[in-house]
Amino acid sequence: MAVIEVSELRKAYGGHTAVDGVDLRVERGEVFGLLGPNGAGKTTTVEILEGHRRRDGGEVRVLGDDPATAGRRWRSRLGIVLQSTTDAPELTVREFVRHVAGYYPAPRDPDAVITQCGLAEKAGAKLRTLSGGQRRRVDVALGIVGNPELLFLDEPTTGFDPEARRQFWTLIRGLAADGTTIVLTSHYLDEVEALAGRLAVLAGGRIVAEGTPQDIGGRAGESTVSWRDSDGVHRVATPDPSALLATLSRPGLTDLRVERRSLEDVYLDLIGEGR
């Protein structure tokens, strides 16, 4: 069952078209990555899906309703982690998470969420005393404490150290395994590759590619084989590296490597073409 269905979505600001005929479909329990450079229409698209911005044209259904007309009960089924949030510096972590949980009809246990987000040791600390990474964990806790069916994550691991990022990835995989649908926007392409089952790339207000992290933009179609021998260094692009490797068994061959284009390489090509 589709949680998000978008057809011919359009939005303009004055004479500038920010979103120009976007089609999207996100299935229940899926982690879907939405990538694009600044100004690509990514934020506008997500805000329309969240019900925070009106569209100019197209059809949008999120959790079965039109976000433009959906009410409070529909909003209680969403979780949102924005890039920046309104702070309450004099509240403790526990007070703030419990306060936000009170807005939802069937929230998760606030103390369990605090622990899940790696904040158990800071539960009694005031928000103004937290580091940037710790404050970001609070943002994530607020996004999931309502037990959302659909979770929007906008640059969720900004300020996280490598260990904290890995812990967060485990949390997101667990939420998806429990049936939560997640829309992830991030400039960390390794994060999108690790978490998303599918992704779309926006450029110039249009989707220029959609697929899995492994095959998007033809990524799976070609590898580069390199090696060194008595004649020097060789590099050959091929769709069938196994067949080429079978011909390279010879004395003196060293530094044999098989490389596939990185997601970053493909992404940069796609947004360049989209512009």
195-198: long-range pairs with CB below 8 Å, 24+: 195/31, 195/33, 195/169, 196/31, 196/32, 196/33, 197/30, 197/31, 197/32, 198/30, 198/32, 198/33
3 state DSSP class of 151: strand
N-terminal to C-terminal alpha carbon distance within the chain: 33
Please tell me the predicted confidence (pLDDT) of residue 259.
Answer: 77
Half-sphere exposure of 62 (CA within 13 A, CB side): 30
3 state DSSP class of 48: helix
pLDDT digits (tens, 9 = 90+) for 198-210: 999 999 999 999 9
Please tell me the predicted confidence (pLDDT) of residue 13.
Answer: 93
Please tell me the predicted confidence (pLDDT) of residue 269.
Answer: 86
Please tell me the predicted confidence (pLDDT) of residue 219.
Answer: 73
Instruction: Calculate the alpha carbon distances from 99 to 41, 78, 94, 175 in Å.
Output: 33, 17, 8, 22
Domain segments of the chain: what residues?
2-216, 219-274
162 vs 274, residue with greater confidence: 162
pLDDT digits (tens, 9 = 90+) for 128-165: 999 888 888 899 899 999 999 999 999 888 777 888 88
pTM given for the model = 0.84
Half-sphere exposure of 26 (CA within 13 A, CB side): 32
Please name the CATH architecture into which domain 2-216 falls: 3-Layer(aba) Sandwich (3.40)
- Yes or no: say if 111 and 121 are a contact pair by the CB < 8 Å rule: no
Mean pLDDT of 170-186: 91
Please tell me the predicted confidence (pLDDT) of residue 47.
Answer: 95
Please tell me the predicted confidence (pLDDT) of residue 146.
Answer: 95
pLDDT digits (tens, 9 = 90+) for 233-268: 888 877 777 777 777 777 778 888 887 778 888 888
- Yes or no: say if 76 and 105 are a contact pair by the CB < 8 Å rule: yes
How confident is residue 226, by pLDDT bands cut at 50, 70 and 90? Answer: confident
143 vs 222, residue with greater confidence: 143
For tokens 């103004």, what's the residue? 128
Q: CA–CA separation, 97 vs 84, rounded Å?
A: 16
- Yes or no: say if 136 and 97 are a contact pair by the CB < 8 Å rule: no
Six-digit token string for 23: 């089609």
pLDDT digits (tens, 9 = 90+) for 34-73: 999 988 999 999 999 999 999 999 999 999 999 999 999 9
Give yes or no for residue 216 having a pLDDT over 70: yes
pLDDT digits (tens, 9 = 90+) for 10-40: 999 998 999 999 999 999 999 999 999 988 9
Give yes or no for residue 273 having a pLDDT over 70: no
pLDDT digits (tens, 9 = 90+) for 70-97: 999 999 999 999 877 667 889 999 999 9
- Burial letters for 232-271: b for 16+ Cβ neighbours within 10 Å, e otherwise? eeeeeeeeebeebeeeeeeeeeeeeeeeebebeebbebbb
Please tell me the predicted confidence (pLDDT) of residue 266.
Answer: 87
- Yes or no: say if 57 and 10 are a contact pair by the CB < 8 Å rule: yes
